[in-house]
Amino acid sequence: MSERKHVIILGGGITGLAAAFYVQKYAKETGKSITFSVIEASNRLGGKIDTIKEDGFVLERGPDSYLARKTVMTELVKDVGLGDDLVSNETGQAYILHNMKLHPIPEGAVMGIPTKVMPFATTPLFSVAGKARAGLDLVLPKRKDSQQDISVGHFFRRRLGDEVVDRLIEPLLSGIYAGRIDRLSLQSTFPQFVETEKKYRSLILGMKKTQPKQEKTPIAKKKKKGAFLTLKGGLSSFIEALSKAVPEENIKTGVSVKAVELLEDGAYSVMMEDGSVMTGDNVIVTTPYPITKKLFSKTVFPAGFHDTKPTSVATVAMSFNEEDVNFSLDGTGFVIAKSEKTSITACTWTSRKWPHTTPKGKVVLRCYVGRAEDQDIVHQSDEVILEKVLDDLKKIMGVDSHPEFYHVSRMIDSMPQYEVGHKEHVKKLRTAFQNELPGVRLAGAPYDGVGLPDCVNSAKEAVDSLFNR
């Protein structure tokens, strides 16, 4: 069987560019003659990643960081020569807004699961009944059928009760997926909690036992290292380095793909909207799921998969003079319980969490708007969004001044919803492609995780599977 010669990569976001990098790396390591083309419909690369750099500010329009423990991203950052530019976040107290008051997240809470008794017992965030209900986790049996996928909400409500879920876990977890916690797939979003319950029965005991022990020495007083990483020059600097790591002539922007078809000789024909055609031996597809369905109209896609439309969110990054934002709370930001009547869903105190992004004497706040069940605000004008955000900040933090400048960034239909059964749907879809279109691989956020490292790893696995590594 002859080696595949040309790989066509659809999409120039982080997944597509990572796939191009790994194809090129494989060709260099093996000495095989493998070429590739990246086709991107828009006139820019990077997808959701978009950094604004002006007057000493480094502001992200999309994602601002990634989880450091997912090392595949760090490895790729180092591979493209940006290892020295990595910076971790400053740590500090995070808050939950409940009854229009900011409450510190109880010390020892891991993704909302309490691991320390006193901070949880004394917090005013929950009622006595709510705390008692959460304590039932210590005696409740584990699920008999742990392999059956259920919603994140169902899982945590059973173990810890509605109050802890609605006031703490839901605002923390739904912010990651911008989805409805009672429809999110547990197996596809937080499978580690399934394993914790299987092994320890109680989530509280399990999380307590698996947390690293704190040293009772002066070393323990050192500031905790942040769990997230970004780049000094913004995440767009990574996209620039990644795109420069492959030949410029291999990347085509402003080109929309119309359809992909399997030819009689086993090759694939990629037809563009402008009438041009490209032929390749393999295709790696990193486009959003609705687009992918249109490109492969003859393929049977699983019924019910991604039936729920991806959610849209918007962010508002605002710069103030330091003296105009007088709030005494120490920390990095807050999330908001769904019961609150606010337009914003969360606020990051960017200048504290990422000091390198903000000149001295300035404060940057980044607020998020748009909920899965109410996305109308995302589509309103910049001025209306800013007005509503400032109204909330005045009530919550006492901010009573207009920002020096602001940027509203919309991510329309950007968050695919991993609903119950997601993992099984992905398996069925990939099996169908393997049977009908064996030279095609699906990669990216619609399938394997929405975080940046998840997208990079999905690209890596797609390339590895093409070349049977």
DSSP string, 81-143: T-GGGEEEPPP--EEEEETTEEEEPPTT-BTTB---HHHHHH-TTS-HHHHHHHHGGGTPPPP
In this structure, the answer to whether residues 425 and 397 fall within a common structural domain is no
We report the CATH number of the domain holding residue 156 as 1.10.3110.10
Q: How many CA atoms lie within 13 A of 67 on its CB side?
A: 10
* Together in a domain, 133 and 182: yes
Same domain, 408 and 370: yes
Is 66 contained in some domain?
Answer: no
CA–CA distances in Å: residue 7 to residues 27, 194, 438: 11, 38, 13
What distances in angstroms separate CA 9 from CA 39, 277, 292, one per listed residue? Answer: 6, 14, 12
Q: Are residues 324 and 384 in the same domain?
A: yes
Confidence of residue 1 (pLDDT cuts 50, 70, 90): very low
Query: Which 3 state secondary structure label does DSSP give 319?
Result: strand
The lowest-confidence range among 65-69, 152-156, 178-182 is 178-182
Structural domain includes residue 60 = no
Domain boundary among 398, 415, 432: 415
Task: Provide mean pLDDT across the span 385-394.
Answer: 98
Q: What is the average pLDDT across 88-107?
A: 95
Looking at the domain assignment, is residue 365 inside a domain? Answer: yes
pLDDT exceeds 70 at position 4: no
HSE toward the beta carbon, residue 393, CA cutoff 13 A = 30
Question: How confident is residue 174, by pLDDT bands cut at 50, 70 and 90?
Answer: confident
CA distance 333 to 376: 24
pTM here is 0.94
Task: State yes or no: pLDDT of 213 exceeds 80.
Answer: no
Provide the CATH number for the domain around residue 402.
3.90.660.20
Q: Are residues 381 and 284 in the same domain?
A: no
- Residue 382 CB partners (closer than 8 Å, separation 6+): 406, 408
pLDDT band at 372 (very low <50, low <70, confident <90, very high): confident
* One domain, residues 168 and 207: yes
Least confident of 209-213, 244-248, 250-254, 301-305: 209-213
Number of domains within the chain: 3
Check if the beta carbon of residue 313 is closer than 8 Å to that of residue 178.
yes
**Token pair of 337 as six digits:** 């319980």
Q: Above pLDDT 90, what percent of the chain?
A: 86
- Gyration radius (Cα) of the chain, Å: 23
Q: Which CATH number do you get for residue 24?
A: 3.50.50.60
**Residues 169/162, Cβ–Cβ less than 8 Å:** no
Q: How many Cβ atoms are within 10 Å of 288's Cβ, its own excluded?
A: 18
Q: Which residue spans within 170-327 are E strands per DSSP?
A: 228-231, 251-253, 257-262, 268-272, 277-280, 282-285, 311-321
Cβ atoms < 10 Å from Cβ of 200: 16
Is residue 364 situated within a structural domain? yes
For residue 160, give the nearest of 171, 172, 168, 148 by alpha carbon. 168
- Whether 444 is covered by a domain: the verdict is yes
pLDDT of residue 251: 98
Same domain? For 453 and 391 the reply is no
Q: Domain check: are 442 and 293 in the same one?
A: yes
Q: Are 15 and 444 in contact (CB under 8 A)?
A: yes
Range of the domain at 444: 6-47+235-307+418-466
Q: Are residues 303 and 427 in the same domain?
A: yes
Clarify whether residues 137 and 195 are in a common domain. yes
Q: Does residue 62 lie in a domain region?
A: no
Q: How far apart are CA 290 and CA 355, in angstroms?
A: 38
Same domain, 127 and 144: yes
Residues 149-168, mean pLDDT to the nearest whole number? 96
Average pLDDT taken over every residue of the chain:
93
Does 219 reside within a domain? Answer: no
Q: Residue 115: inside a domain, yes or no?
A: yes
CA-to-CA distance for 343 and 307, rounded, in angstroms? 26
Q: Is the pLDDT of residue 178 over 50?
A: yes
Shared-domain flag, residues 348 and 422: no
